Chains A and B, each alone.
Chain A
Amino acid sequence: MRSRNLSWLLLGVLFSSSTWAESSINLTEGVTGVSHDVYDLHMLVLYICTVIGLVVFGAMFWSMFFHRKSKGHVAATFHESTKVEILWTVIPIFILLAMAIPATNTLIAIENNDNSELTIQITGSQWKWHYSYFDQDLDYFSVLSTPRAQWDNLSGPGEEKGENYLLEVDKPLVIPINRKVRFLITSDDVIHSWWVPAFAVKQDAVPGFINEAWTNVDEPGVYRGQCAELCGKDHGYMPIVVTALPENEFDAWLKEQKVAAIAAAEAEKASLAERMTMEELMTLGESTYVASCAACHQANGAGFPPSFPALKGSPIALGDVSKHIDIVVNGKSGTGMQAFGKQLTLKQLAAVITYERNAWGNNTGDVVQTADVKAATGK
């Protein structure tokens, strides 16, 4: 009885899950010339393997059916044939040549990074991507935007998962179609790998080295990918989203970003004069902490020592304020602690430092204002 209930439950889960999203079973054809070539190569090898498989397995099954002892088949005595053995050494070499020639051509095309019209530096860090447009004064971080309540089901079912679960970010990379876009890929900490299947671009982000890749997208759209190299705890939570816009829309978008950047700089300047209350700082601090710090140091400040130390009761959060500001703004080299000075606004920095000094029983009572952060770091 119980086992029958269990199997019904299992069936129910299976069927409900199939309504979530379409499963695909083959490689994407993608939206670039290279991705089409790669897809064609993939299909070519797949067909070759299928044919060889049919022949070899066919012969094996033939002998399994017709050359069996139970049917009274008597074994032949041959055990070598130079002719046959040379044949099945030479024929595969020709098949391999038929595969290697188109593969070489595609590879040469993939590695040709010349004549790009736009260059974007992509920097991976645990666990976010940073995009910097060359000669455009534009750079920003791109972070997973799926709320924690959707994916953290350790203590309960959590919220229902959205359509682009784990494949959505706060600010996607925006590129134009029909222009050759070159990517310079590197990392701030461990090795990551920037992968967008629709472009057939996968390139490792290696700390201290810069790798090149490029794409030229045919169709506007939103393309999603993920980090493809194990990069620590939240490797599964650093997706890539690329929005490809028609050329004119892309140019308009670039202008918009510049206006927004000027406005942000002015807001930053204005915030220097602002004196925030403890409550305001704590509220903003908490939301900033959850978004930027909790992945490592945990929402309760306990961290995952020894890689990610606890902030609750830590000597830095309880000690000298300027040292605390310094480590948050500039990071700590040789550890996973990033320099948040370039990721957060002065206001957010002040708030999050105040929060860390007063949350979870770290009751220092210290209030850090925007101007303090500015003064301590000269940011």
Chain B
Amino acid sequence: MTTSTTDMAHDDHGYMATGIKRWLFTTNHKDIGTMYLWFAFIMFLTGGSMAMVIRAELFQPGLQIVNPDFFNQLTTVHGLIMVFGAIMPAFTGLANWMIPMMIGAPDMALPRLNNWSFWILPFAFTILLSSFFLGGAPNFGWTFYAPLSTTYSNGSTAFFVFAVHIMGISSIMGAINVIVTIMNLRAPGMTYMKMPLFVWTFFITAYLLIAVMPVLAGVVTMLLTDTYFGTSFFDASGGGDPVMFQHIFWFFGHPEVYIMILPAFGIVSTTIPTFSRKKLFGYSSMVYATSSIAFLSFIVWAHHMFTTGMPLIGELFFMYCTLLIAVPTGVKVFNWMATMWRGSISFEVPMMFSIAFVILFTIGGFSGLMLAMAPVDFQYHDTYFVVAHFHYVLVTGSLFSIYAAAYYWLPKWTGHMFNETLAKAHFWCSLISVNLLFFPMHFLGLAGMPRRIPDYALQFADFNMWVSIGGFAFGLSQLIFLAVVIKCIRGGEKAPAKPWDGAEGLEWTVPSPAPYHTFSTPPKID
């Protein structure tokens, strides 16, 4: 491994194209990571502004702003953008930036593939978003259940399918790159069980992506041929089965949920030990727990489908497997708790987001446990309780972990410390508003409000108003983050190589900002 990497120090070392060409043709993992992160943030604001319109419509009962069909387009595209455009690319951006630096590699193993997997993404989202102006965007929910998305589609199915195909190709290439990099470019002496947990979680996530993205590609292709070429995969009148669609979709969809949360586990397993000044508790049990969750994620998919008329034995199997996920997930939460226990804790902004992550993600986990109980799921299914559940897991879970990561490594990326007052304002505004936004959704769901409706009965009016106010406040709070980042790029206190005294890892052994090329000669790990 060492001999091949040392020879790769080329003569064009240190060369950097300028202007737009630098970004278009770059094969540098740091540039590509930066582009992923900016792209994710732009998509986050795009999907977020759709959520603002949704919340404005739901501010009061009655239809005030948008018609029901456009409302469905907004909820659908909001979901698609946040999943495929914001959370996943943000994690890929972090992987790009940090994995080579954490394992002492000069770059990702497949740099040209890396460039391509980023640059096809803007095209995917251009196709998806252009459908708004070309006869209507997808309006069948981000889960695109057939036959609503086939026979009864508004003509947006082709846009949707091709956009998803491109996103899928991008994800698969990114995942291949992560796996190849981790397997081949680790610094000498860095065995698998010495890798930072961050690297482990991305490693496992990459396998999940490779396993399920082709399933997604398959199901959208079947959707395409059902809609335009007369096949009947999901059409009962032609011998197909609409429920089979859901089985295939959720076989992708459930591991997808873990694709969006395992990297978050890796992030907080990095930040919490740093600011507790204590080693991560139970490193190896963390690795095993992550692997168990990844394995279990393949055998629980039908818990999304308890009401579709599954036989009793199926319901029991999927209920038991789903309940089992609580065990490794619990191990993780307990380990973070034990890491903090008797540490020497300080509350820098990345730590604040990490602690908020652990508590709020656990609340999302509790509602997940409740949803796993099949008989009670008959009441929760497709209500705002589910909406509350997955927003706790994805917003206060995944998104908060991404913020923790961004604040943690911003000094390394930019060479400047960020403005702590502004960053704390971002944290507190987000924390308060996000709970005002999502917590009452539990009540709404329990009281019987279905999800994906543009208008509602009067007993839901009070909470919806609070939720909307929380939503607007949360949306605005995210602009503070933009301000922090821009300020931090333009200047600020000079960051030392290791700005956090409790931090460990190879990325802190290089100067801040990290030079364009790092670890051309691999470091030695004992």
**Complex: A25 Cα to B455 Cα, angstroms:** 19
Stretch at the interface among B90-98, B307-315, B506-514: B307-315
* Chain A residue with Cβ nearest B371: A45
**Complex: A28 Cα to B446 Cα, angstroms:** 8
Stretch at the interface among A158-166, A252-260, A272-280, A368-376: A158-166
Interface residues of A in 229-262 (CB under 8 A from B): 229-237
Q: A92-B326, A151-B455, A231-B148 are in contact. Are A193 and B307 (CB under 8 A)?
A: yes
Known A99-B369, A209-B236; 18 more pairs at CB < 8 Å: A13-B465, A23-B460, A56-B333, A59-B341, A67-B340, A69-B277, A69-B345, A80-B281, A85-B285, A104-B319, A107-B312, A191-B242, A197-B379, A208-B236, A226-B450, A232-B139, A237-B455, A304-B69
Q: A190-B147, A208-B236, A307-B154 are in contact. Are A49 and B370 (CB under 8 A)?
A: yes
CB distance from B244 to the nearest CB of A (A): 11
Per-residue A-contact encoding for B210-225, CB less than 8 Å = 1, 0 else = 0000000000000000
User: CB of B5 within 8 A of chain A?
Assistant: no
User: CB of A219 within 8 A of chain B?
Assistant: no
Give 15 CB contacts A-B under 8 Å: A14-B465, A69-B345, A75-B276, A78-B281, A89-B327, A96-B327, A99-B323, A152-B63, A190-B147, A191-B145, A195-B382, A203-B309, A212-B309, A307-B155, A334-B151
Contact B458 A165 (CB under 8 A): yes
**Complex: A296 Cα to B359 Cα, angstroms:** 46
Per-residue A-contact encoding for B126-151, CB less than 8 Å = 1, 0 else = 00000000010001110001011001
**Complex: A226 Cα to B447 Cα, angstroms:** 12
Contact A107 B147 (CB under 8 A): no
Contact A228 B450 (CB under 8 A): yes
Stretch at the interface among A34-42, A116-124, A133-141, A344-352: A34-42
CB distance from B303 to the nearest CB of A (A): 12
Q: For A24, what are the chain B residues with a Cβ–Cβ distance below 8 Å? A: 443, 446-447, 459
Interface residues of A in 250-309 (CB under 8 A from B): 304, 306-307
User: CB of B72 within 8 A of chain A?
Assistant: yes
Contact B459 A46 (CB under 8 A): no
* Chain B residue with Cβ nearest A198: B448
User: CB of B279 within 8 A of chain A?
Assistant: yes
* Chain B residue with Cβ nearest A68: B345
User: CB of A6 within 8 A of chain B?
Assistant: no
Interface residues of B in 428-476 (CB under 8 A from A): 443, 446-448, 450-463, 465
* Chain A residue with Cβ nearest B149: A190
Contact A76 B345 (CB under 8 A): no
User: CB of B31 within 8 A of chain A?
Assistant: no
Contact A76 B462 (CB under 8 A): no
Contact B278 A56 (CB under 8 A): no
Contact A28 B448 (CB under 8 A): yes
User: CB of A227 within 8 A of chain B?
Assistant: yes
User: CB of A222 within 8 A of chain B?
Assistant: no
**Complex: A236 Cα to B281 Cα, angstroms:** 48
User: CB of A220 within 8 A of chain B?
Assistant: no
**Complex: A163 Cα to B61 Cα, angstroms:** 12
Residues of B within 8 A of A (CB): 60-65, 67-69, 72, 135, 139-141, 145, 147-148, 151-155, 235-237, 241-243, 276-285, 307-309, 312, 315-316, 319-320, 323-324, 326-327, 330-331, 333-335, 337-347, 355, 358-359, 362-363, 366, 369-370, 373-376, 378-379, 381-383, 443, 446-448, 450-463, 465
Contact A38 B337 (CB under 8 A): no
Q: For B69, what are the chain A residues with a Cβ–Cβ distance below 8 Å? A: 233, 304
Which of A34, A88, A126, A193 counts the most B-chain CB atoms under 10 A from its CB? A88
Contact B375 A106 (CB under 8 A): yes
Q: For A74, what are the chain B residues with a Cβ–Cβ distance below 8 Å? A: 344
Q: A69-B346, A75-B277, A75-B344 are in contact. Are A161 and B327 (CB under 8 A)?
A: no
Contact A88 B359 (CB under 8 A): no
Q: A23-B460, A203-B307 are in contact. Are A225 and B277 (CB under 8 A)?
A: no
User: CB of A335 within 8 A of chain B?
Assistant: yes
Q: For B382, what are the chain A residues with a Cβ–Cβ distance below 8 Å? A: 193, 195, 202, 228-229
Contact B237 A333 (CB under 8 A): yes
User: CB of A53 within 8 A of chain B?
Assistant: yes
Q: For A3, what are the chain B residues with a Cβ–Cβ distance below 8 Å? A: none
* Chain B residue with Cβ nearest A227: B450
**Complex: A166 Cα to B457 Cα, angstroms:** 6
Contact A233 B378 (CB under 8 A): no
* Chain A residue with Cβ nearest B143: A230
Per-residue B-contact encoding for A123-148, CB less than 8 Å = 1, 0 else = 00010000000000000000000000
